[in-house]
Amino acid sequence: KNQFKCAICVVYAPNGHSERRQVWNQLRSLHSVIEKPMILMGDFNEVLSLRERRGATEVTPGMRDFQELILDLQLIDMEIGQDFTWLRQNAASRMDRFMVQEEVLRKFPDSRAYCKSRSFSGL
């Protein structure tokens, strides 16, 4: 048997910081229960760094919480082919992600993720 089992989680995180923090804690709890490598994808409604939000000048508590989640779950943020995935007038952010744990990449070393480009969002 050469089976590989993992958990694939599709995330649509809330806009509010405290609600997102609850989702991050639920993902941590899920990870501790399932004991399988995880793939997380979706709209996380948060950025990891200043360069991922046009015009951002300071690291926010929400960004720090998201960074901690990535570290806690030991996730690898896959490149998806776009600097920004959310655009509205002069605003732009990278909210959509495809993240995996290292075990997934060891099993599938040629894995790639792509995000279809779009011209606008959040209207």
pLDDT of residue 14: 95
pLDDT of residue 7: 92
* Alpha-carbon span 121 to 123, nearest angstrom: 6
Using an 8 Å Cβ cutoff, are 44 and 77 in contact?
no
- Would the pLDDT of 121 be above 50? no
pLDDT of residue 110: 76
CB atoms < 10 A from the CB of 101, how many? 19
Determine the distance from the C-alpha atom of residue 27 to the mean position of all C-alpha atoms in its chain, rounded to a whole number.
11
Q: 7-107 has which CATH code?
A: 3.60.10.10
Hey, where are the domains in the chain? 7-107
Cβ-Cβ contacts under 8 Å for 64 (sequence gap 6 or more): none
* Alpha-carbon span 65 to 44, nearest angstrom: 12
Summarize the confidence of residues 96-118 as an average pLDDT.
Answer: 79
pLDDT of residue 38: 95
How far are the Cα atoms of 21, 89, 96, 119 from residue 122, in angstroms, in the given order?
22, 10, 13, 11
pLDDT of residue 116: 63
Q: pLDDT of 4-48, one tens digit each?
A: 889 999 999 999 999 999 999 999 999 999 989 999 998 898 888
Between strands 38-43 and 7-12, the pairing is parallel
